[in-house]
Amino acid sequence: MGQGVLVTGAFGQIGSELVSALQQKHGKEHVVALGHHNVDSSYDGIVEIGEISDKEKLESIIQKYDVGTIYHLVSILSARGEQDPQLTWNVNMDGLKFVLDLAVKYKIKVFWPSSIAAFGPTTPRDNTPQHTILEPTTMYGVTKASGELLCQYYRLKYGLDVRSVRYPGLISWKAEPGGGTTDYAVAIFYGAIQEGKYTCFVKEDTVLPMMYMDDAIRGTIQLMDAPAESLQVTTSYNLAAISFSAQELAQEIQKRMALEVSYVPDHRQKIADSWPQRIDDSVARSEWGWSHEFDLSKMVDVMLEKLHAKLQK
C-alpha cells in the first residue's frame, strides 16, 4: 500500500484538524492536503489545489504521492445544499464516485463521512439504531444515504476497504463550519465572545446529536486503524457523544459568561426537526472501541478558552 495520505476538503471544518493529526501520525512528508479556493496561507505541509470534479488531477496526485489512503471530506452541507440541490448532488456524489473508482484502480483505503443527515423524519428519533430507516428529506441527506450505499457496493463488489461514520454536528474552534444546520452550536460561541449575544436560528428546545471535534478526529483515525475483521457494518457507523437542546447549550455558556440569546427559527428548523435527537452508537463502541471524552461542560470550557485566545490575536 502506498505511503501517501490524501485529504480532500482539507481546509474545511474537519479537514483543518484532521490534516494536522494525520501529519503527526504519518509525517508531514506523507500527507497531501487538497483544497480549492479556501487554502489557509499559514498551512505547513504539502498542498494541492484542484476541484473534486477534476478526475485527472485527482489521479495525477495519487500517482505523484503514491497515495495509499484517502480521507474524502469534500461535501456541501445540509442548509447550503437546499439552495443548490444540483450542485450538491454533483459535488457530493460525483466526487465520491471518482474517489471510489480511483481507489479500486490503485488499491487505496478510503474514509468517507456520512452524517446524521442520512436519517429522516421516519427514523426513530431517540436512540436511533445502527440499522434503521434512511429516508432523508434534504439533498445533503440524500447524498449521504446514497453515498453509504455506493460505498457498500464498492466494498461488496470490488473488495474495497472503505470505512465510514455518521457524524453528528461537530463543534470546533479552529475553522468555522459553513452551510450546515448544526452551525448554531458553533456560532453561539462567537456571538458570546464577540458581542455577548446571539440570535439562534433554531428553537430553544431543538435537541440534536453533537460532538467536540477532538473526539471526531480521534474516532476517525481509530476506525481507520481498526482491524478489518472486527468491522461488521458495511455502510456507516453511528457515532455519538452528546445531545443537548439549543437552550441547554446557551445555559452552559451563561454559567461562565454573560450571554443574551434570542430564538428566531428559520428554514433550518425544518431540517433539524427531520433529524434524530439521540443516536445509539453501541455497535461502534463494541466493534472498534469507540468512546467519547468530551461531555457538554468540558466541551464548553475548551471552546471558550480556545476561541477567546484565537479571537484576541
Q: Which residues are identified as catalytic?
A: 140
Contact 20, 33 (CB under 8 A): no
Instruction: Name residue 238's beta-bridge partners.
Output: 166
Binding of residue 35 to ligand AKB (CB under 6 A): no
* Nearest CB to ligand AKB, comparing residues 19 and 139: 139
Per-residue binding string, ligand AKB, 174-213, x by CB under 6 A, is ------xxx-------------------------------
The cell for 297 is 461542560
Cα–Cα distance measured from residue 267 to residue 271, given in angstroms and rounded to the nearest whole number: 7
Residue with cell 457498500: 152
Residue pair 30/6 in contact (Cβ under 8 Å)? The answer is no
Closer of 62 and 116 to ligand AKB (Cβ) = 116
Nearest distance from C-beta of residue 4 to ligand AKB, angstroms: 27
Please tell me the distance from the alpha carbon of residue 312 to that of residue 309, in angstroms, as a whole number.
Answer: 5
Give me the least distance between CB of 287 and ligand AKB, in Å please: 22
Residue selected from 12, 120, 169, 191 as contacting ligand AKB according to rule CB under 6 A: 169
Judged by beta carbon, residue 165 or residue 300, the one nearer ligand AKB is 165
DSSP string, 147-173: HHHHHHHHHHHH---EEEEEE-EEE-S
Q: For ligand AKB, give the closer residue by CB, 35 or 177.
A: 177
Cell readout for 312 is 484576541
CA dist 258 and 222 (Å) reads 38
Positions 102 through 121 that interact with ligand AKB (CB under 6 A): 115-117
> Which residues lie below 8 Å from residue 91, measured CB to CB, with a gap of 6+?
52, 53, 74, 75, 76
Pairing mode, if any, of strands 197-200 and 237-238?
Answer: unpaired
- Total of residues contacting ligand AKB (CB under 6 A): 11
Q: Which of 77, 160, 192, 207 binds ligand AKB (CB under 6 A)?
A: 77
Per CB under 6 A, contacts with ligand AKB among 127-156 are 140
Nearer to ligand AKB, 48 or 183 (CB): 183
78 scored as a contact of ligand AKB (CB under 6 A): yes
Residues that bind ligand AKB (CB under 6 A): 77-78, 115-117, 140, 167, 169, 180-182
